Structure 1
Amino acid sequence: MYLPNGATTALNEIRNAAIVRFSVLALSSIFFLVDPFAAIPSFLAITDGVDAVRRKRMARKASITCFIVLTSFGLAGQLIFKMFGITLPAFEIAGGLILLLIGLDMLEARRSPTQEAQGDTEEGAAKEDAGIVPLGIPMLAGPGAISSVMVLVGTVPSLWNWEMAAILGSIAFTCIVSYLVLAGAGRVKTVLGETGIRILVRIMGLLLVALAMQFFVNGLTDLGIIAKQ
């Protein structure tokens, strides 16, 4: 089908805007839920007395674990939906509820129990190597981050398109930043300070609450309870 140059340009602009919008949504929702800055105090407590080389090794192992877990759920997300008969609207509402609870905790500058249960830090400090558990999962790749990835994947028509590339790219970027933040946790804490980290966590929490409400709206819209705009 032939389209005039003007129409082709307009379609390309719309497509590019959709790509940017979805990529920003994917990156923000995944990064805010992994939230490596909020994990700094626990990471420093777990690695207290550990030399710099071993601390970087644990940060790398935690980031790789986070990448493997989130990527696995991303690739298997649609299969899981089909296997258990879960509809996307139901998961959007459930995921929105999890995001809301985590966001409310972050607004108070504290880690949600879904990200860090009581005793996780002490258990990690007692381990010889806590890079996989509890640092990688659940402190980085917790239920909130997994839910967010699966909701995003549920909106993708197939595994091999630009939306999926945006999701996997967001996971990779988040895990790289997580490694850099945790590997330099001492310097980051010195630069930002306790107050700076809490302010940053609260800002992320506010944005996360907004994302949670958007997931709710999307789920209710897909169910037909709210009219599409």
Structure 2
Amino acid sequence: MDIYKPLVALLAMVNPIGVIPFFIAFTQEFDRAQRKQTIRVAAFTCFCVIGLSALLGLKLIEFFGISIASFQVGGGTLLLINALQMLNAKPAESGAVTSDGAGANIAVVPLAIPLLTGPATISTMVIYAQKTTQWWHQAVLVGYGVVVAAFVWLCFSAAGKIAKVMGGTGINIMTRLMGLILAALAVELLQSGLTEMFPVLGITKFR
């Protein structure tokens, strides 16, 4: 397993810079302490989603009798859908989001789930966890959850400054760039899953 690919995929998919406008909108009425608490909870939730997906996701799909090839195709499709959303300058994992959650903690929903992490993130971690051959590979995947959480914390902590420097146009450009990277990774996952399901697709003839 290429040990760096999961981190690239996670950073492209989570893309907290693209979620900064939502963070600012949802926390504009918060005081400084409430905003800091929201940042900590959102970052920790992202770590939990990534870490638990790496450790337990494979056992769950085995329990339901789902093949890895099918999961790769499904996960790759979800990644591609999210990538297409990002290429249109929409945050990955977005969909219908409301901020009037009747007392729900916006740090968990909708910021951490689904704006930052969601089905595509879980699928990606399960797929890469299946490819691990050493126990420390899995530990590295969990460690990447720490890296992503730290990145989320840094971006949200500097949300005001980043928004001023980048502006709406800059954030859109960054979101589209991350979407392009994610699309390439999605195609790789789809190709791998389809080739395993239909070996004939992996046969290339040269004339």
Q: Same fold (TM over 0.5)?
A: yes
Structure 1 position 66, deviation (Å): 1.2
Per-residue displacement from partner, 1:34-86 (whole Å, max 9, x unpaired)?
A: 11111111111100121222212101101101111221121102211210111
1:140 aligns with 2:140: no
Structure 1 position 226, deviation (Å): 2.6
Task: Please provide the CA RMSD for this pair.
Answer: 1.9
Instruction: Please say if residues 129 and 138 of structure 2, whose CA atoms lie closer than 8 Å, have aligned partners that are also in contact.
Output: yes
1:210 aligns with 2:188: no
SS in 1 for 2:200: coil
Instruction: Please say if residues 100 and 212 of structure 1, whose CA atoms lie closer than 8 Å, have aligned partners that are also in contact.
Output: yes
Question: Partner residue of 1:192?
Answer: 166
Alignment of 1:1-229 (within 5 A): 22-112=2-92, 115-120=93-98, 122-123=99-100, 127=103, 129-157=105-133, 160-161=135-136, 163-223=137-197, 224-227=199-202
Instruction: Give distance in 2, aligned partners of 1:212 and 1:33.
Output: 11
Structure 2 unaligned runs (5+)? none
Structure 1 unaligned runs (5+)? 1-17
Amino acid at match of 1:172: V
Instruction: Please say if residues 98 and 144 of structure 1, whose CA atoms lie closer than 8 Å, have aligned partners that are also in contact.
Output: yes
Amino acid at match of 2:17: F
TM-score, normalised to structure 2's length?
0.90
Instruction: Please say if residues 93 and 219 of structure 1, whose CA atoms lie closer than 8 Å, have aligned partners that are also in contact.
Output: yes
Question: Partner residue of 1:15?
Answer: none
- Bigger Rg, structure 1 or 2: 1
Structure 1 position 123, deviation (Å): 2.4
Instruction: Give distance in 2, aligned partners of 1:215 and 1:131.
Output: 30
Instruction: Give distance in 1, aligned partners of 2:68 and 2:105.
Output: 38
